[in-house]
Structure 1
């Protein structure tokens, strides 16, 4: 993902002591004795024949090259230049610092391996791992410490909805362009698979529908899925148009439709595929996406809710939180984890709701941060591959000032799903305040691109930056875009900007609202300045704006 650049210090695996736990309950440890070449080659063949790799020529070739070179004793020579020339057919003057194909494809390769071992390869005896920051593969033996002589249990079924991505149609009029349509199909499938509450049908199961029109209801019944994604790709000259529709397989109704026009001269084809796939996946599967919005509407009037339905209704809370909705959502999520104690997604959201007791000043109970941290840790323990748990975990480590742990959890969240807008938006604020404003704003821009109708609080970070730069009219526009999005902060934000603009009369109703409930606003300011580690420069200028607006209470 180009917008985010973490430089975490990788801890090297020590062969005697390194143990990695996977979501299945399986543990893997780097082998302390040589593994026979035949065992590694068998595992490689198993991976390359899987649904994650069988249709991916580039990644198939890439993984085979890395493993074979390592087995041949050439692991030290696995550098970006050699890989670009040998695997991706780059010319001899190839510069990996300029042409990032090796780095981009390595990220995709790591993600595909994660997905393979979370699904088809969950019980495989050997794991092939490409550590971040290196192209040299590690070979890890997997075993179940609780029952080493029994078959390892499979990963718990975390999916709540099933979806199939049908092969996209090539409308270019040239059969030679078929690979472009296949590439978009593959990338969209890949991006959707990162959302853990979706069960995504493999490419092999859907490919038989290529060039065979059929009623979506028949396809849904045949594949056993609730939703279908279908679409088309058309290329002419240097233009590409991608259309995508989400279809309800039970009724055949079209639930959403999007069209993307891109220029190949401005972006490479791989970049366009990745960008469009990320946008489609987020629009469909993110917490504010089509599937969740539809589910919320269907269930909003009932109290007979299962664990997932409780979590589904909770996802709407962040669009416009209030003290009343916070209390209801907290009750719903506590009910969800009581109904299903192994539901990682509900534990993750409960962690963030517990944190809102301090962030928003809502329904405060004792020790909210430790409750929130425990819930986040429980979510990650239950499902280490679910981004929602790592999102909650990095947020709590950040609030507690544990920045090393924050960066490790954030790096994991990004690797698992760089297309999760709410996670990106929170990460943007953390990054801007403690690392780099420019990087934080780039992350927020990506979050907004992935969420065309984002919650209002997404606009706060750009508003703060504009405010610091004395671009007060532009900052006010951002505040208005945010609307009444959370916690009453919009009153504080608008008052400080109007104060800097000298529009004291206009700010008067806001000042009166602040002075009418000083304890609440003091809570908001003191706790959030501390929790978000707001820069001193920003805190000073915010208070200056309030004074200019006429706020007497020291916030």
Structure 2
């Protein structure tokens, strides 16, 4: 427990990392829920103990979030959603109150294994314990056209549709996209023309449909030049008397993350 965490390059000792972790989770400036503080403690301690290979969505879901043995990360996105919140909270903390911390704990997109960074060291010392291929981020201010494609809906579904649409566009903006809105009645040809005018090759269709007690929130990304569908996904949520803003915002975040990852991998 007293050696360096990384076996590849010199880095902070396990004792120093655990001390930094203790200070971090106890700092009120870190805006995290109690369970996401447990999430952070779990991945750091597993890494320090040499068990980074155990840090998977399934083990996090079961050991941290209390899911049962039937937990399927492909169906239940809880780990992915909370990991995004954890990354955002860490970034905000180190940009403000934690900017002078001696050791920074980070979790890059595409992995749940944390990296332990000593500010001012060379780049090779800032790598996580296990080598991986980093996920590139979209080019800043890359343009995307968003179309709402729900069609005629009842007033209650229309309210959820508007909340979802606004949340998706906000999340895309945070993901370094320049977002353009295309009216709901715009057909594919008109969307392509708009894309040509603003030099956008990506179009995102989003919709909310009512199916009995459920509402399906769907998104489809396609290439405006070729018409090729790049991704298509959805999430079903139970309808309540009042829309759950948190769940709608989480679903919008998942959609925007999917778009960013698809664009980065192309």
| 1:46 Cα deviation from its structure 2 partner | 1.7
CA contact (8 A) 2:143 2:198 kept: no
Structure 1, unmatched stretches of 5+, are: 1-30, 146-403, 411-425, 452-456, 470-524, 539-555
- Mapped to 2, the partners of 1:54 and 1:407 lie a distance apart of 26
CA contact (8 A) 1:126 1:139 kept: yes
Alignment of 1:341-360 (within 5 A): none
- Mapped to 1, the partners of 2:114 and 2:96 lie a distance apart of 20
In proportion to residue count, which structure has more strand?
A: 2
Residue 199 of structure 2 corresponds to 531
Aligned partner of 2:67 among 90, 102, 122: 90
CA contact (8 A) 2:31 2:89 kept: no
| 1:467 Cα deviation from its structure 2 partner | 6.4
CA contact (8 A) 1:52 1:116 kept: yes
Alignment of 1:103-252 (within 5 A): 103-143=80-120
Q: Deviations over 1:96-116 (max 9, x none)?
A: 111111111111100010011
Alignment of 1:277-296 (within 5 A): none
- Mapped to 1, the partners of 2:137 and 2:73 lie a distance apart of 30
The yes-or-no answer on 1:465 pairing with 2:133 is: no
The number of equivalent residue pairs is 167
Distance 1:84 1:529, change over 3 A: same
- Mapped to 1, the partners of 2:105 and 2:53 lie a distance apart of 17
| 1:459 Cα deviation from its structure 2 partner | 5.1
| 1:60 Cα deviation from its structure 2 partner | 0.9
The yes-or-no answer on 1:50 pairing with 2:27 is: yes
Q: CA RMSD in A?
A: 4.1
Matched position secondary structure for 1:128: strand
Residue 165 of structure 2 corresponds to 446
Matched position secondary structure for 1:532: coil
TM-score, normalising length from structure 1?
0.26
Matched position secondary structure for 1:139: strand
| 1:464 Cα deviation from its structure 2 partner | 2.7
- Mapped to 2, the partners of 1:34 and 1:74 lie a distance apart of 17
Matched position secondary structure for 2:113: coil
- Mapped to 2, the partners of 1:459 and 1:526 lie a distance apart of 10
Distance 1:144 1:461, change over 3 A: farther
Residue 291 of structure 1 corresponds to none
CA contact (8 A) 1:54 1:60 kept: no
Distance 1:466 1:409, change over 3 A: closer
Residue 409 of structure 1 corresponds to 140
- Mapped to 2, the partners of 1:526 and 1:54 lie a distance apart of 40
CA contact (8 A) 2:11 2:118 kept: no
CA contact (8 A) 1:53 1:60 kept: no
TM-score, normalising length from structure 2?
0.51
The yes-or-no answer on 1:81 pairing with 2:27 is: no
| 1:132 Cα deviation from its structure 2 partner | 0.8
- Mapped to 1, the partners of 2:108 and 2:80 lie a distance apart of 13
Structure 2, unmatched stretches of 5+, are: 1-7, 123-134, 150-160, 171-178, 203-223, 228-266
The yes-or-no answer on 1:32 pairing with 2:6 is: no
- Mapped to 1, the partners of 2:104 and 2:11 lie a distance apart of 14
Distance 1:464 1:126, change over 3 A: same
Flag the structure with larger Rg: 1
CA contact (8 A) 1:78 1:135 kept: yes
